[in-house]
A and B are shown apart, each in its own frame.
Chain A
Amino acid sequence: MPPFAPAARGGNEQPTALLKVEHLTMRFGGLVAVDDVSFEAPDAGITAIIGPNGAGKTTVFNCLTGFYKPSVGRLTLSHPRRGPLYLERMEGFRIPQVAGVARTFQNVRLFGGMSVLENLIVAQHNELMHASFFSLAGLLGLGRYRRAEAKAVERARYWLDRVGLTARADWDAANLPYGEQRRLEIARAMCSQPVLLCLDEPAAGLNPRESSDLNRLLIGIRDEQRIGILLIEHDMSVVMGISDKIVVLDHGRQIAEGEPRQVRADPAVIRAYLGEDEDEDLPPEVARDLARDGGGA
């Protein structure tokens, strides 16, 4: 049993959906950014959300993690210990705190002026607050807080080892190179002990080696922690390589859902990416990647 794996979980009985998105719609004024999207994300599985730029992928994430209130829709998270939770009804910061949904950002958002280790300790804020009676125990110097902090440091150390940043623990986060910042952000999200991890373009700007390291890390997290991973990604080698399931969005609408193999062959997807009957401003590199991977199928 790997360390930090959540306690006994209902084995291989039947694959229940960890997250169920139903009829999610998000409007900004007259603009419909997400239009009636429904999909499920399994427990201990990687679900990728792909689509051309402006398809509404990040908006879906922002709805899931409480930064936007959806205009319509139900977002049900079947929490392994707390039962079903309706994310659209929860206040923004309660979603990570209570429902255990952690996320990373498209443009990395670290606490730049703080050290790498501090970033990981801050991620365990709620647990530490609880252990220290809202910091009072710490103020009085009680052992209870010292032990809780030691545990937090050990958890941070575990994730530092996993992402290969142990030697950088005392650096300022802002001074890390870009690829390491991305890894640190994932480690930080994992330190908050999520049940659902949402990654917004984790491979963006990584070189091929870093990108394949990332694949291995994500597969490791899925198999050892047995948590759900939701992934927005343009890099098709990542998407096709590790996803258990893919949801395709285009102009806010959902145009396909299924296993990588099915999605790759879906004519609607190919049309959306290659723009056969309407010209779209899709990035050429995406089209190229899709064409290459699609051809290989």
Chain B
Amino acid sequence: MEYFLQQLINGLTLGAIYGLIAIGYTMVYGIIGMINFAHGEVYMIGAFISLITFLVLGMLGVGWLPLALLIVLASAMFFTAVYGWVLERVAYRPLRQSPRLAALISAIGMSIFLQNYVQVAQGARVKPLPPLIGGGINLMEREGFVVQLSYLQIIIIVLTIALMVTFSLLINHTRLGRAQRACQEDLKMAALVGINVDRTISTTFVIGAALAAVAGMMVTLYYGVIDFFIGFLAGIKAFTAAVLGGIGSLPGAMLGGVLIGLIEVFWSAYFTIEYKDVAAFSILVLVLIFRPTGLLGRPEVEKV
């Protein structure tokens, strides 16, 4: 029971991280109907920028943790957002009218490029960061087994919820959100009624990248190690989360993220840790076969 509870907490934390990345996939897919293959790399870049900012702050001697966290958050979001923006301009926009396959190859090329760019610029070695936020609340203790909700986990979950709320308000109540929803329905029509489609798509990439950067920061803090290759697996799992929740649906992305996080943690805890990645892939396959619209997605009627 205690073990279960602990795993539940861990799963929720991991799920929050996946959910944040999944939002990037789901928004981009919703609008331009393609998988942003390089999104996992954007998240990885976010993690690296957070790490570097932490180190810079350490050198500058910013010791007060909440301030440091805020600065890291802002810096990671800003720089990663610029990466997201450039990514769209360079690799996607010129190909918007081209065959879908061309855009996909360009995205895969970008993913390979960014991965190796970081490898060349920062080295292939794993980057460790000593734990900055220790301690936590002991929820339960029995027979020497402690169920702990760490402060870091609280920060991750609270931050994710805060971002989600802000973000939902943004999508539902602002001009930008309306433009985004309109583009999701019909790109051509949206352009006809005077929505700046290019700008809307750019903004979508920027927001997605910023959220991925937050996820990157969380991972850096939570696991304490990152390398240039973390984007690939996290990207696939987050995409699975987006599909599971119903692609194009924001609450769906979050729900999918939490489910994938839970499944992965419980699978590792109760079955075999070696096959935990297979678990995520199997779920992806099963969902696509039996419920391609996902849990919260809109049903798609085949137009003949």
Q: Number of contacting residues on A, CB 8 A? A: 5
Q: Which residues 90-142 of B have a CB within 8 angstroms of A?
A: none
Answer yes or no: B65 CB below 8 A from chain A CBs.
no
- Give Cα distance in the complex from A62 to B304, angstroms: 8
Instruction: List, in ascending order, chain B residues with CB within 8 A of A58's CB.
Output: 304
Task: Contact check, B304 vs A67: say whether CB atoms are below 8 A apart.
Answer: yes
A104 to chain B, nearest CB (A): 11
Q: Which residues 282-304 of B have a CB within 8 angstroms of A?
A: 301-302, 304
Answer yes or no: A171 CB below 8 A from chain B CBs.
no
Answer yes or no: A105 CB below 8 A from chain B CBs.
yes
Instruction: List, in ascending order, chain A residues with CB within 8 A of B304's CB.
Output: 58, 62, 67, 105
Instruction: List, in ascending order, chain A residues with CB within 8 A of B301's CB.
Output: 28
Chain B interface, DSSP helix/strand/loop, else mixed: loop
Q: Number of contacting residues on B, CB 8 A? A: 3
A127 to chain B, nearest CB (A): 25
Q: Which residues 96-151 of A have a CB within 8 angstroms of B?
A: 105
- Give Cα distance in the complex from A58 to B301, angstroms: 14
A53 to chain B, nearest CB (A): 15
Q: Chain B residue with minimal CB distance to A29?
A: B299
Q: Chain A residue with minimal CB distance to B302?
A: A67
Q: Which residues 57-78 of A have a CB within 8 angstroms of B?
A: 58, 62, 67
B99 to chain A, nearest CB (A): 11
Instruction: List, in ascending order, chain B residues with CB within 8 A of A105's CB.
Output: 304
A60 to chain B, nearest CB (A): 12
Mask: chain B, 210-226; 1 = CB below 8 Å from A; 0 = not: 00000000000000000
Q: Which residues 25-84 of A have a CB within 8 angstroms of B?
A: 28, 58, 62, 67
A108 to chain B, nearest CB (A): 12
Instruction: List, in ascending order, chain B residues with CB within 8 A of A62's CB.
Output: 304
Q: Chain B residue with minimal CB distance to A59?
A: B304
B303 to chain A, nearest CB (A): 9
Q: Chain A residue with minimal CB distance to B303?
A: A107
Q: Chain A residue with minimal CB distance to B304?
A: A67
Q: Chain B residue with minimal CB distance to A200?
A: B304
Instruction: List, in ascending order, chain A residues with CB within 8 A of B302's CB.
Output: 67
Q: Chain A residue with minimal CB distance to B301?
A: A28
A61 to chain B, nearest CB (A): 8
A214 to chain B, nearest CB (A): 22
Q: Which residues 156-209 of B have a CB within 8 angstroms of A?
A: none
Instruction: List, in ascending order, chain B residues with CB within 8 A of A67's CB.
Output: 302, 304
- Give Cα distance in the complex from A105 to B302, angstroms: 14
A26 to chain B, nearest CB (A): 12
A147 to chain B, nearest CB (A): 36
Instruction: List, in ascending order, chain B residues with CB within 8 A of A28's CB.
Output: 301
- Give Cα distance in the complex from A67 to B304, angstroms: 8
Interchain Cβ contacts under 8 Å between A and B, 6 examples: A28-B301, A58-B304, A62-B304, A67-B302, A67-B304, A105-B304
3 residue pairs, one from A and one from B, having the closest CB atoms? A67-B304, A62-B304, A28-B301
